Structure 1
Amino acid sequence: MEFDRNKVGRVVKEDRLSSLPDELIHNILSSFDMKFVVQTCLLSSRWKLLWTSMPCLNFTSWQFTSLPKFAKFVNHVLSHHNHQVEVSSVKLHFSGAASHVFVRKIAKYAFSHNVQQLTITSCPKYRLKSYHASLFSSHSLKHFTLTCHHMQLCTTTKAPLDFPALTTLRLSRFVLCSDLFSNCVNLKNLTLEDFSVKDVEVFDIITPRLSSLRLAHGSSCSAVINLIAPQLEKLTVICCSFKYLNAPPGLSSFDYWGDFPLKFCKDRFYSLNKVSVCFNCFGLPYKEKDAIKTINLLQELHSAKYLTLNVDIVKCISSFPDLLLHHASPFSNLISLTIDYRLNRDEYGEEISTEARNFLLENSPSAALIMKSP
């Protein structure tokens, strides 16, 4: 096979990357942090100023020897950015003792340019003073993620977050003590992770349009979590400890994974569709008090149509048949009952006791019984 050397030479010398439109180059560079982007743009005269018109700004401090040097670089990029270009996303990841002034400057820049998505991740070496909720305010932001390891979100001023356009909010590693969300009137998806509630007996989550709520690794043994969210459809609770959880009655989907049965205010639910419950810390032998709490929780979930329970729940209530005989089956709408054995591989295929089967299925005789294998 013969090669046309002249044709090959022309292909090799051709700079195909530089011929790409700016929009496509921006999309490629948006996967990298801004230090790499600036360094890359210096390699070509065609790309020299491309970094000043990036619609997605991704700042990370890990390639800098100190936080002041990182802050200086961030200030340089922001001050030289083309202010005619709309910035759609800003991500800020840093470690060290950043001041409120530094964080406020980033947030202010993002908000002044009508940024749609803002992500701030802070990893200070030591526990610092709290961030004030008033630090963050925007009428254009739609998606906000704030993760601050070893820090607190201070709400003692009773000033909630001011995000009237926000639809998705994720907060991680915070202490909460007052209303944060009532001004987020369009919030639809809320995630709270690694959080705690202090200094209040009742913590209100006031969100008129919220449809999905995820609470993970939250602690507040003495507080009632009160969900004032009339449009809430999906609730996920993972490893949380509350005195009570007061959820809206119209809930259609509920997922729970925890060490102990969750306590709800009585007779809350009338339209549950899909329910999944997993307890992962039952001690052996099973205790009667745990069985009572489990039965009480299952009674609160009586309207479920599709119910999934891990096998430990079934084994716990099966260990106390006399308790089950004194309670009528709460489930009259079941379409299917799934017993999940994925955490108990050695017990797959074991028969369910007659008492447990009757308690779960007696009032839904046509429901399908499914054994989910490891």
Structure 2
Amino acid sequence: MAETKDGRLHKHPKHSFGETIDRISELPVHIIHHIFSKFNQKEAAKTCVLSKRWYYCWTSRPILVFCQLPYMPLEKFVKLVDQFLQPHLEENLHLEEFNLQYPPELASHHIDRWIDLAVKLNVKVLKIDTSDDSGSHNLPDVIYAAKKLTTLKLSRCKFEFDISTTSIIRFCCLKDLHLSYVHISERQLQRVFDRRPFIRNLSLSNCEGISKLHVRNLEEVEIQAPNLLEFNFGGDKMAFSSMDPSSLESVQLSFWLFETPIIIKFGNVDSSWCTNLQHFLQKFNYSKGLILVISCCRTQIILIYEDPREIIVPPCPNIEIFIAPMQRVESIIDRLMFRPPKIISVLPCTKSKVLQVLPEIKGCPKKRKSGKDCLSNIECFYCQRELKEVGNFMDTTDEEMASWYSWLKSTPLIDQVTTFTFNS
């Protein structure tokens, strides 16, 4: 049937044998599959009555979504999943997505068998939800061998493996990882990232086994982990702006703006990027005695907030950020000294520990702790550097120092900051 301009319906034209042309069945298979993807399961299933070809396309569709309906017997659910997986297995059809939400009473051997079949069919998107709040089901090892997998979304299950057998992880194409109420240790999750550094999007929600996380080059991070204490990130994008960092006690963030290689000088950075970073840094719970350190790597300038009430991020192209308990201030400063800074600016608290520590770093930290000289000038390059407090930048001829002073002067920090320089 077709619709005329006035809204009336008429039959399609007949060919020479008097038969009506079935144009809907002539659609390419990939178009029919795309149409299926626009409907929910129940609506898409109704299209099977259109023609035998549409029924075949329905049974061979590359996206399989299974969720046990209320009052559906368990045996019928198992038979349904087997029924739709069988044609893919017999004809070796590829599987774009396998989405399984199953009841907790379902026997684990069914789940393991279906996941095994999905991996053999080179599934690209795998979503598993056990609907079991205990999260007791441990996924089969075959899941770690899914070479074509690009997206893995797990909920309420165990994602655990023996970290000594690193060859088990073969996620060659994995880009998106979403874990919710999943049992996994921080060492296991770290091993996934270490073995597969191509992951770009990470979502963690209520994964209680994770208290420490170190990731690089992510495009998007969504983390809801109330027990997460340590978070390290490196990359060229701030992918975690929506993250709640209030539980964190130790943070290291490293940004390299690779997409803007012409940026060299201090100040030539997108102000909106700095503003977004400021908003994120202001979310931390500094009342726990945390200190904020911002290191401008290229210009060799360090800004230390002992009392981060009003945070302003300097416009540096390459920047490192440390947030840690005040008790670790000496070790943080010692670490920063191994990249020879030109300037250190401090926004001190009432009883500043930083201002107490800085005058002591004229000598090597090993010498201060042991009373012995350093073994080489390389181990303590700043032994010969002179620490000098700066009261006035007006007469400086150093371009970077002048730029730093100009920026400080444009902010409310200028009246609070104490600045030191290191001269060779």
Pair 1:302 & 2:314 matched: yes
Choose from 12, 24, 31 the match for 2:31: 24
- The reply on whether 1:256 has 2:268 as its aligned counterpart is no
The CA deviation at 1:64 is: 6.2
Instruction: Return the match for 1:165 from 165, 173, 180.
Output: 173
In the alignment, is the contact (CA less than 8 A) between 2:179 and 2:207 conserved in 1?
no
Alignment of 1:18-97 (within 5 A): 18-32=25-39, 37-38=44-45, 40-62=47-69, 65-81=72-88, 83-97=91-105
Give the alignment partner of residue 128 of structure 2, picking from 96, 101, 120: 120
Shift of 1:85: 2.6
Residues 116, 142 of structure 2: 8 Å contact kept: no
Residues 99-178 of structure 1: pairs in structure 2 closer than 5 A:
99-124=107-132, 126-132=133-139, 134=141, 136-149=143-156, 151-154=157-160, 161-177=169-185, 178=187
Matched, 1:225 2:231: yes
TM-score by length of 2: 0.54
Partner SS for 2:204? strand
Distance 1:84 1:50 in 2: 15
Show the 5 A alignment for 1:341-360: 358-359=412-413
Contact 2:210-2:225 within 8 A present in 1 as well? no
The residue number in structure 2 matching 1:192 is 203
Superposed displacement of residue 121, structure 1: 3.5
Query: Which range is displaced more, 237-246 or 175-184?
Result: 175-184
Partner residue, 1:214: 221
Residues of 1 paired with 2:218 and 2:27: CA distance? 42
Q: Is 1:205 the counterpart of 2:214 in the alignment?
A: yes
TM-aligned CA distance change 1:193 to 1:128, over 3 Å: closer
Q: Which protein has the bigger strand share?
A: 1
Q: Are the counterparts in 2 of residues 144 and 169 from structure 1 also a CA contact under 8 Å?
A: yes
Same amino acid, percent of matched pairs: 16
2:238 is aligned to 234
Q: Is the 8 A contact 2:214 2:231 kept in 1?
A: yes
How far 1:242 sits from its partner (Å)? Answer: 1.9
5+ long unaligned stretches in structure 1: 272-289, 306-320, 337-354, 364-374
Q: Quick one: structure 1 residues 361 and 292, their matched pair in 2 at CA, closer, same or farther if it must change by over 3 Å? A: closer
**CA contact under 8 A between 1:195 and 1:217: conserved in structure 2?**
yes
Name the residue aligned to 2:269.
Answer: none
How many residues align structurally? 296
Distance 1:51 1:142, change over 3 A: same
1:248 aligns to what SS in structure 2?
strand
- Displacement of 1:155 in angstroms is 5.1
TM-score, length basis structure 1 = 0.60
On the 8 A contact 2:214/2:232 being kept in 1, the answer is yes
Distance in 2 separating the partners of 1:163 and 1:3? 54
Quote the RMSD (CA, aligned, Å): 4.8
Matched position secondary structure for 1:123: coil
CA shift for structure 1 position 129: 1.0
Q: Distance in 2 between matches of 1:268 and 1:192?
A: 28
Give the number of the structure whose alpha-carbon radius of gyration is greater. 2
Distance 1:22 1:361 in 2: 70
How far does residue 28 in structure 1 lie from its aligned partner after superposition?
0.7
CA distance, structure 2, for counterparts of residue 51 and residue 3 of structure 1: 32
Q: 1:246/1:53 Cα in 2 relative to 1: closer, same or farther (>3 Å)?
A: same
1:148, distance to aligned residue in structure 2 (A): 1.1
SS of residue matched to 1:131: coil
